[in-house]
Chain A
Amino acid sequence: MELTIQNISKQFKELVAVNQFTAELSCGVYGLLGPNGAGKTTLLRMLADILRPTSGIIRLNGQDIRTMEERYRDVLGYLPQQFGYYRQFTGRQFLMYIAALKGLEKRAAATKVEEVLQLVGLGYEADSKIKSYSGGMRQRLGIAQALLNDPKVLILDEPTAGLDPTERIRFRNILSEMSANRIILLSTHIVSDIEYVAKDVLLMKQGYLLKQDRLVSLLKELKESVWKVTVDENQLPVLKQRYKIVNILRRDSGVEVRILSPDKPLLTAQPVTAGLEDLYLHYFNEEIIR
């Protein structure tokens, strides 16, 4: 299975949200990483065939998804960034409703609904009204609806927003188990989500694809660029001015600072193994959300 994104662009009046984006995705989990406003959601909406690209083409196994229409939606699972729901529905009713829209037969739908409810850990609350759900439970319901038709292409926009650490780990494990025979594209700016499950990382900035590579290869670029050093409190402002600071940890012995720099920032600085957070800061120069 191959999803080919070929020179996709999307322009909203003067604003180019996605610009000449090209990528090839095969089975596995792909992490789409980028700061707010990078065009991730627009790209995912085009991939979900709910937003028409200004130019370019998206192909699944060589076939234009726009000509595939229903056949593409048949293999598509999509979780939008803002998950809406009908307040008067229970979790089970909502999933049955979405299952009907996905064209599942009633009996098959009931079985599948039960299965996905168990998978996301909502079995015990399935018959409660969605309006009584917590944010995390609603998000899990959103994930469940995306899995209803056993999709071959799964597009998830910020799926872990609102999930607690246990739920996030559970979700990551679900994704890993499912990734063997599916294309999963996961957009987030929570880097740790991607770090554990993604086969490839796609870095996106201002509508462009900056890089697409294996995480290991991307991290190799930062070899000898990430440093750890313990300094006094009064040295911290100077370091902040001169370098990109990834992390500050106050200990009894002083302030432990993680610095991103091509050169050794201080004599006492020790090189450390780079992580995805360092990579994020390197490319996007923004504060990291753990």
Chain B
Amino acid sequence: MGKSRENKGKSVWVDDMDDVKDLEYFDSELESILQQYCVELPEEQRINTTIDVLRQYVPDISENPREVSMMSYWRRWINLWKIAAADIGMFSKLYWISCLILFGAGVWMGVTVQQMPAIVVILFSPLPFVIGLIEVFKGREQGVLEMELACKVSAQELMLSRLLFIVMNSLILNTCLSGLMFLVRGDISFWGLTWTWFTPFIIVASSSLWLAMRIRCTVSSMVTISIWMAVGMILLTRPDMLTRMMDLHILITILVNAVAVYLLFRQGWKLLRNHTFIAEGSLSYGANDSEYF
């Protein structure tokens, strides 16, 4: 038969011509047999479709799921701010004008009214937020929400980004107002003034958001502003009440603030849940579902 094989164990050489012919024959025979089972390549589109279908089952490649979760959290957070930044231009002129007027009036009153500058910041602090809520809910109020829900940037992201923006804008305006009063007057503490407006701001913000999610926002804003003005009148005529409120124990104030912040976050979370799908009452302020068809 054949010659001995060189370098046994490393490489194998078949020198026998008969063996080679047999192998060639076998190869060609095998090829002709396999030809019957020739599988055509699927079209490009079908391959892509299969990949798309299977994509949902592909797990996130990561050794640290917590890291992924944090990254996703930050990405979403950054994304929200990006949406907010892009959306600022879409805010109504009325909102900006109202904010400017309120700020101007706040500065003027804070500087000129000699007694109790705190009452000025207390009264003005929640108003930009309350007016801003009209912008947050304008999609729902003007019947655009259904269209917004069907877009890539969801309505919930849009509303949350607007909410974040009006909170930030209110905080900046109020801080600036306190800062200006501190600089001009010199007889008041900046941090004391900031602490003074933060509590009513957060309480009114959370309760006005709660109300806006239940009734038409323009109405809820008007109601909140009216109530707040009435409270302001009481405080102006009864300065002793304000003094008593400001003398509350720091722990009580912290507790009240914590509850109000919690309620604000809770309302924000509810806002997200309620506006994922229209069935949850986002189109008609929680009215009966049967209206939706």
Interface residues of A (CB under 8 A from B): 10, 12-13, 15, 17-18, 37, 39, 41-42, 45, 48-52, 61-64, 67-68, 70, 73-74, 76, 78-80, 82-88, 97-98, 100-103, 145, 149
Contacts and interface: CB of A to CB of B under 8 A. Distances in A.
B150 A12 contact: no
B152 A63 contact: no
Interface in B143-166: 143-154, 158
In the A-B complex, list the 5 residue pairs whose CB atoms are closest, starting with the nearest: A84-B143, A101-B151, A42-B293, A12-B289, A78-B150
B142 interface: yes
A84 B152 CA distance: 18
Interface in B92-118: 92-93
A103 B151 CA distance: 8
Interface in B35-65: 49, 52-53, 55-56
Contact of A51 (B139, B148, B279, B290): B279
Contacts of B139: 84
10 contacts: A12-B293, A15-B290, A17-B293, A41-B293, A63-B55, A84-B145, A85-B143, A86-B138, A98-B151, A102-B151
A111 to B, nearest CB: 18
A24 to B, nearest CB: 15
A83 B146 CA distance: 9
Given A12-B290, A52-B279, A103 B146 contact: no
Contacts of A84: 139, 142-147
Contacts, number: 103
B254 to A, nearest CB: 40
B147 A80 contact: yes
A228 B87 CA distance: 60
B24 to A, nearest CB: 45
Contacts of B292: 12, 17, 41-42, 45, 51
Contacts of A64: 56
B12 interface: no
Contacts of B248: none
Contact of A62 (B53, B92, B148): B53
Contacts of B142: 84-87
B277 A50 contact: yes
| Interface band, chain B | 20 to 34
Contacts of A13: 288-290
A103 B150 contact: no
B278 interface: yes
A64 B54 CA distance: 11
Contact of B158 (A17, A101, A149): A101
B17 interface: no
Contact of A101 (B138, B148, B279): B148
A45 B280 CA distance: 13
B70 interface: no
B150 A73 contact: yes
Given A51-B279, A84-B142, A101-B158, A39 B293 contact: yes
Contacts of B55: 63
Contact of A52 (B49, B145, B277, B290): B277
B290 A82 contact: no
A149 B150 CA distance: 12
Quick one: which of A64, A67, A86, A149 has the most chain B CB within 10 A? A86
Given A52-B277, A73-B152, A103-B153, 14 more contacts: A12-B292, A15-B290, A48-B149, A49-B150, A50-B150, A62-B52, A62-B53, A63-B55, A64-B56, A73-B154, A78-B147, A86-B138, A102-B153, A103-B151
B147 A83 contact: yes
Given A41-B293, A52-B279, A64-B56, A98 B153 contact: no
